[in-house]
Amino acid sequence: MKRQFIAASVAVLGLLGALGAQADEAKRSFGQYSDDKVLVGKVKSALVSDQTADTDEINVEVYKGVVQLSGFVSTQAQKDAAAKVAQAVTGVKSVQNGLTIKK
């Protein structure tokens, strides 16, 4: 129940950020910017729901539908799973997995 609340909260925050922010007109339209912000929330929510890795240490950025994962995970399996979860989110065009495995 707590993870579902967190996941919903992350999605709502992503949506609010998209609505309140201005687009960088030279690089993407407001619609693209909004779509990217919504995708950030959806990917973070999916990662929380998956419970594969500690999502507090995973950063998610999106640009024109391309997801960039960065941060730290404990194992290669967690790194691979995070990319798979992100790729499965509707609207994600591709995933660049920059997660680092803790040593």
What are the Cα distances from residue 79, in Å, to 16, 37, 51, 76?
28, 22, 12, 5
Over residues 70-76, the mean pLDDT reads 95
Residue extents of the structural domains in the chain: 2-101
State the fold for domain 2-101: Histidine-containing Protein; Chain: A; (3.30.1340)
Give residue 84's identity as a one-letter amino acid code. K
Q: For residue range 29-59, list pLDDT tens digits in order.
A: 887 888 899 999 999 999 999 987 788 899 9
What average pLDDT is seen over the chain? 82
Decide: helix, strand or coil at residue 14. helix
